[in-house]
């Protein structure tokens, strides 16, 4: 592998770790604050997360509060899982860049694709649900702050990766055939 | 596969071991083994040429087509 590619890989590894730690903290924060608000002290809803004040939603209807926070948690956990897989692939011993078309990489692409689709679908659901609540006059933060924005982008990424995984499958077949060519 | 590789037959006729053939045709033992055991999916003409040259034979002596009943 050329030194330039090596540097890019190392840089991507570092960036992935930073993002992974960030999304883990976020997911953990959402989970903790949800349970804290519901079980211990409702005042937790006021400062649920940075720029996220869910107090009005909490006092409007607890069921809606649980729904919105559950969707936020699901999306945050899926994002954390996605970056866990990304970080894991950098440390995968079976990752052989001299023969990149292998089942390990294909499985990785499929996992990221399905997670992307999942994040997109739950974000879309969250966005629609929030829209419904706003139409009822409940004041809730912007989707960006709820981390439920960009559903279309996640769906696009998921579908694109699914297509790439199919092409990769063909690449694996060709590589295996080439490996058995003397 | 319907293409049978009779490399071991030619090697026996020429009294040549796999190691010796590997050195002379400049192919790894692993690749030669893939060819010998019929696991190869394809063979390059350049490889076939050098094997025929070393074993002093024709491609038909090494490769045989046999209809396999399914």
Tell me if A180 and B42 make a contact (CB, 8 A cut-off). Answer: yes
Check if the beta carbon of residue A132 is closer than 8 Å to that of residue A124.
Answer: no
* pLDDT (tens digit per residue) in A89-125: 888 876 777 788 888 899 999 999 999 999 999 999 9
pTM: 0.79
CATH T-level assignment (fold) for domain B3-65:
434 Repressor (Amino-terminal Domain) (1.10.260)
The number of residues making up chain A comes to: 182
Chain A positions touching B40 (Cβ under 8 A) are 180-182
The interface predicted TM-score (ipTM) is 0.80
Question: Across the interface, do A180 and B41 touch by the CB < 8 Å criterion?
Answer: yes
Distance separating alpha carbons of residues A30 and A39, to the nearest angstrom: 14
Query: Rounded to whole angstroms, how far apart are CA atoms A16 and A108?
Result: 15
Domain ranges of chain A: 3-179
Domain spans in chain B, listed from the N-terminal domain onward:
3-65
pLDDT digits (tens, 9 = 90+) for A118-142: 999 999 999 999 999 999 998 888 8
Mind spelling out the 3-state secondary structure of A15-77?
A: HHHHHHHHHHHHHHHHHHHHHHHHHHCHHHHCCCECCECCHHHHHHCHHHHHHHHHHHHHHHH
């Amino acid at each position: 592998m050329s030194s330039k590619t090596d540097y890019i890989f190392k840089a991507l590894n570092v960036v992935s770790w930073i993002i992974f730690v960030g999304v883990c903290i976020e997911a953990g924060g959402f989970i903790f604050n949800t349970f804290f608000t519901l079980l211990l002290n409702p005042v937790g809803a006021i400062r649920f997360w940075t720029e996220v004040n869910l107090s009005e939603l909490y006092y409007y209807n607890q069921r809606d509060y649980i729904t919105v926070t559950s969707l936020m948690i699901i999306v945050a956990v899926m994002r954390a899982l996605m970056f866990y897989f990304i970080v894991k692939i950098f440390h995968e011993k079976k990752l052989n860049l001299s023969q990149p078309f292998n089942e390990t990489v294909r499985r990785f692409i499929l996992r990221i694709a399905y997670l992307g689709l999942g994040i997109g679908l739950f974000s879309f659901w969250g966005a629609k649900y929030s829209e419904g609540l706003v139409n009822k006059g409940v004041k809730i933060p912007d989707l960006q702050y709820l981390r439920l924005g960009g559903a279309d982008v996640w769906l696009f990424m998921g579908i694109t990766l699914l297509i790439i995984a199919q092409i990769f499958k063909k690449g694996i077949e060709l590589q295996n055939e080439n490996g058995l060519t003397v | 596969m319907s293409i049978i590789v009779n490399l071991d037959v030619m090697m026996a006729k020429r009294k040549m071991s796999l190691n010796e053939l590997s050195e002379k045709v400049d192919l790894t033992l692993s690749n030669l083994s893939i060819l010998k055991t019929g696991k190869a999916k394809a063979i390059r003409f350049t490889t076939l040429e050098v094997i025929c040259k070393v074993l002093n034979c024709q491609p038909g002596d090494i490769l045989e087509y046999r209809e396999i009943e399914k």
